Amino acid sequence: MIKFHRIPITPGELSLDNVLQCGQAFRWIYHKDKSHYSTTMRFGNQYHILVMKQPDNTCVEFSVMGTANPDTAHVADHLKNYFRLEVPLDKLLRTEWAVRDSNFKMKLHRGVRLLSQDPWETLISYICSSNNNISRITKMCHSLCAQFGNKLGEHDGVEYYSFPTSDEIKERASEEKLRSLGFGYRAKFIMGTARKMVEDRRNLPDSQYLESWKDHLTYEQIRDKFMAFPGVGPKVADCVCLSGMQMDDVVPVDVHIARIAQRDYKFTLNKSKIEELQIQYSDLPVTRKKVNYELDLIRIMFKEKWGDFAGWAQGILFAQEVGKTSGATSEGMIKKRSLEVEIKVEVTDTLGQYQTVEEESIEYSVTGRPKRKSAKRDSYES
């Protein structure tokens, strides 16, 4: 019997079903028969198997597996930070965004919060997101862990692994191996990013090194440094700033958000503002090379309109624009869910390309995805 520990929440401020399957985090596994989620998470310097469920809208519950006497108070504090429970989402919606922006007056947040994720894992995960859909990103992240991370144990027939460090990827992986696992051209980017991280961070752990940037660099400088990693453009860099570095006013702009800007906010390109940005970015060589000035002006427009938590506002619009989510299940499936957790129709990606799905679920491949030992070993099809 699993012993769960309770974390109270403001009613309606967090929905596990919606936030864990909206394309933010890719390693949560849904256990349909038990109505709970599981993943591995680093508390301090060590990874553990974590199980979570939500009995009602007033709390979430967690259990740490494989540890005789876990420090539950420490884990609870970590999870409060992970879900950013200090941020009053409903208040922001009603008294900030709806006041600043009439488009929010009829919006619902549905308990979709920005997660405070590990910066290194977020960087690699979003490199995997390039021209990809959520099902395949999920597969890639689980494959990385199973092939190059460290095994932590089993729960409910699923094997669990840590997320590999830059050293582990550099030493255990190769571009050829990653390509064989289905990473395609991203294999080169992941290996290059791991090698650059090992060289740059010196003796600091991966995420600690990335977090240290906030001590002395501006947002523009941090984004420029992220874009120096292979395969990282402005959108991926902004996603890591927002989700991995907790820079709440950063607005990642993909085709979904660009469409919203043009359709609902009548955004038009201003050449004089582009010239101003070119001057502003004169000392940021990577930014000048990679930035799309039109999308960058959309980012700035939304930041000015929505304020200090503009990235959260963007998250609500993005989730509702996409409208569908997907996540891994303990049965070795990809479960499609709407934000209402009712309709299972199609999978959408993080870059605006759609993949129609005829079957209700897709079975895992045998190349590293979590699966029950009794699961059928059919190949994953994208």
Q: Residues of 156-166 as b/e, b for ≥16 C-beta within 10 angstroms? A: bebbbbbbbbb
The three-state secondary structure class of 32 is coil
The three-state secondary structure class of 134 is helix
Which residue do the tokens 């990577």 mark? 286
End-to-end Cα separation, the chain, in angstroms? 37
State how far the alpha carbon of 148 is from the alpha carbons of 178, 238, 313, in Å.
Answer: 10, 26, 36
Report the candidate in 288, 287, 303 with the shortest Cα–Cα distance to residue 250.
303
Active site residues: 235
> Torsion angle, CA of 180/23/302/231, rounded to 10 degrees?
-10
Q: How many CA atoms lie within 13 A of 237 on its CB side?
A: 23
> Torsion angle, CA of 317/226/125/231, rounded to 10 degrees?
100
Report the candidate in 215, 350, 217, 237 with the shortest Cα–Cα distance to residue 287.
237
Write out the E strands in the chain: 5-8, 29-31, 36-43, 46-56, 59-65, 151-155, 158-161, 324-329, 334-338, 346-348, 354-356
Rg (CA), the chain: 20
